Amino acid sequence: MGRKILGGILGYIVLFIFVFATFSAAYLIMGAGHAFKPGSYDVSNRWLAISTVLGFIGALIGGYTAALIGRSKMSVKITAGIVLLMGLLTIAMVAISPRSVEARGADVPNMEAMSKAQTPLWVAILGPILSIAGVLIGGSVRRTD
């Protein structure tokens, strides 16, 4: 049972590290001018598309990692459960946070961009759904149980 839990947790950690690293790289490559709509912290359609693809790839890798380490479908389900919990927290934060009307400057550091980005609620809802699907697909690639 310990291996299954460890696999589930490590699957999520790998997913998180992949997403954090690739989102940071994408932001550095794109810059604030392409990641946000002009003059605001509202994320651009380009950013939404890229982050959706990267998030799904991260979920595939996380699911595969969970199955590889945990050697069990239960590990994959644990990773999917963690994704669900974190997704629900994200949805709640997006839903209750006030929309910023602050004007965005031309050069915004990565950490500031992460903290001030305005993501639409529908994206916050869609993200965990796609990520859970990615985890389950990634976990099914690796033969378990």
Phi-psi bin for 31: left (phi > 0), alpha (psi -120 to 50), beta? left
Q: Contact 123/50 with Cβ under 8 angstroms? A: no
Q: What is the dihedral of CA 76, 11, 47, 37, to 10 degrees?
A: 100
Digit-by-digit pLDDT tens for the chain (145 residues) are: 888 999 999 999 999 999 999 999 999 999 888 888 888 888 999 999 999 999 999 999 999 999 999 999 999 999 999 999 999 999 999 999 887 777 777 777 778 888 788 899 999 999 999 999 999 999 998 665 5
Are the beta carbons of 19 and 55 closer than 8 angstroms?
Answer: yes
